[in-house]
Amino acid sequence: MSKPILDIKDKPSPIQWLTLSLQHLFAMFGATILVPYLVGLSPAIALISSGLGTIAFLIITKWQVPAYLGSSFAFITPIIAAKTAGGPGAAMIGSFLAGLVYGVVALVIKRAGYRWIMRLLPPIVVGPVIVVIGLGLASTAVNMAMNNPDGKYSLTHFSVALVTLAATIVCSIYLRGMLSLIPVLVGIVVGYVYALAVGIVDFSQVAKAKWFEMPDFLIPFVDYKVSVTWEIALLMVPVAIVTLSEHIGHQLVLSKVVGRDYIKEPGLHRSILGDGTATMISALIGGPPKTTYGENIGVLAITRVYSVYVLLGAAIIATIFGFVGKVTALISSIPTPVMGGVSILLFGIIASSGLRMLVDSQIDFGDKRNLVISSVILVIGIGGAALKVSEQFEIHGMALAAICGVLLNLILPGRPEVNENMFETENEHNNHVA
């Protein structure tokens, strides 16, 4: 591992601090605002909650883990379903419950270690569920790309989506350095300019917006009645199966990049608790659930700047941006096909990352056990199967697929042993490279 330019506790100069923090802000910006855009929540709240959530994460991990938390794509479909069932308040209650699950898991890991969670969530379960998340959103992306505000096919709108998609791909494949880490943001900017040229951007709200504006917070007991139901819990909580696995993967990668074993110190239980706390904070103010961002880990790897002060700066700037009315209005003025264009690539990448997990883990599909588990997860999840016991008790889609996958993995014979040296091997590799 190369020597860091700024290590974990190194404090940058003021100009460095601002510049490096803005880099992290840009890296997470496009994806973080896309999630609320898709589910009908406030982008301003998404920015504020990502900032506050990141600060909470840094505090809980004792200022040792340089990570930024943005909006989680895994919760898009469940949030939409929860909003349909009980309004925005129901989605927030479900998000809060998912955050509580993180807290419970963190407590168990603190007491019993982390091996059990790897047995519960092996790649043969998590990989296909991630594929379901991406492919389940495919029709949403395509409809956003092709249709005008009336829901009818529009070649003009589709051309905007295709230009956005092309710009995102070119940035991702051909550009180097920092620009290669922000393809979503570059794609949105290029698509926005093209949409402006073809006349489908409405600037009226930007002109009316004030510089300082209070966002539309969603506060429990104030803006909605708090009512915990089985339906909401079963829509949202099972998704934690996927996001917990994603979190562990990010911690392994981050440990490798930074040259520290974050599974042992400050401990996997602390980082999971930080992630869950960020999700609960977000739910309490009306934002989407949170997760650590691979884009920001990429920024750390390229810049070799690991300072937690830089991540703190990005979190503070994101929080401030949420109160700047002009910025929020500008985000809201982005035409739907622009977001549709980047969504085509992003949702495809989510599905592909599930396949990559299966490939990297060397899953043998000649083994009937693996074939059965993955097949059941894919068809139940993408097909939208539902288990309805009563009006109040219903599990469907991705949640049902994840539960079926976990149960099949536990029940079917021939379950492989977890690699007991999984994390130690990573740490030894880091020490060797260092």
Q: What is the mean pLDDT of residues 64-79?
A: 90
Residue 211's alpha-carbon distances to 123, 162, 319, 330, 351, in angstroms, are 47, 33, 14, 11, 39
d(CA 28, CA 278) in angstroms, rounded, equals: 16
Q: What is the mean pLDDT of residues 340-365?
A: 87
Residues in the chain, how many?
A: 434
d(CA 414, CA 287) in angstroms, rounded, equals: 42
Query: Residue 427: which pLDDT band, with cuts at 50, 70 and 90?
Result: very low
> What is the per-residue pLDDT for 431?
38
Least confident of 22-31, 41-50, 187-196, 391-400: 391-400
Q: Which two tokens stand for residue 85?
A: 């069932």
Say yes or no to pLDDT of 59 above 80.
yes
d(CA 317, CA 14) in angstroms, rounded, equals: 14
Query: Residue 418: which pLDDT band, with cuts at 50, 70 and 90?
Result: low
Q: 């910025």: which residue's tokens?
A: 327
Q: Which two tokens stand for residue 154?
A: 């529009």
> What is the per-residue pLDDT for 188?
86
> Do 34 and 74 form a contact (C-beta atoms < 8 A)?
no
> What is the per-residue pLDDT for 389?
74
> What is the per-residue pLDDT for 430?
38
Cite the beta strand spans of 167-289 per DSSP E. Answer: none
Q: Which tens digits make up the pLDDT trace of 96-117?
A: 999 999 999 999 999 988 778 8
Q: Which two tokens stand for residue 54?
A: 């990141």
Helix (H, G, I), strand (E, B) or coil at 307: coil
Name 208's Cβ contacts closer than 8 Å, sequence gap at least 6.
329
Say yes or no to pLDDT of 272 above 90.
yes
Residue 192's alpha-carbon distances to 289, 337, 434, in angstroms, are 27, 9, 44
Cis peptide before 266 (omega within 30 of 0): yes
Name 189's Cβ contacts closer than 8 Å, sequence gap at least 6.
none
| Averaged confidence pLDDT in the chain | 86
Domains in the chain: boundaries? 14-411
Computed on alpha carbons and rounded to an integer, the radius of gyration of the chain in Å comes to 21
d(CA 234, CA 241) in angstroms, rounded, equals: 12
Residue scoring higher pLDDT (180 or 226): 226
Q: What is the pTM of this model?
A: 0.81
Q: What is the mean pLDDT of residues 180-206?
A: 85
Say yes or no to pLDDT of 318 above 70.
yes
Q: Which two tokens stand for residue 109?
A: 């890991």
Q: What is the mean pLDDT of residues 65-76?
A: 90
Single out the residue of 3, 54, 64 nearest to residue 25, CA to CA. Answer: 54
Paired residues of 394 in beta bridges: 388
> What is the per-residue pLDDT for 186?
84
d(CA 205, CA 216) in angstroms, rounded, equals: 15
> What is the per-residue pLDDT for 136?
85
- b or e along 352-367 (b: 16 or more beta carbons within 10 Å of the residue's beta carbon)? ebbeebbeeeebeeee
> What is the per-residue pLDDT for 421?
47
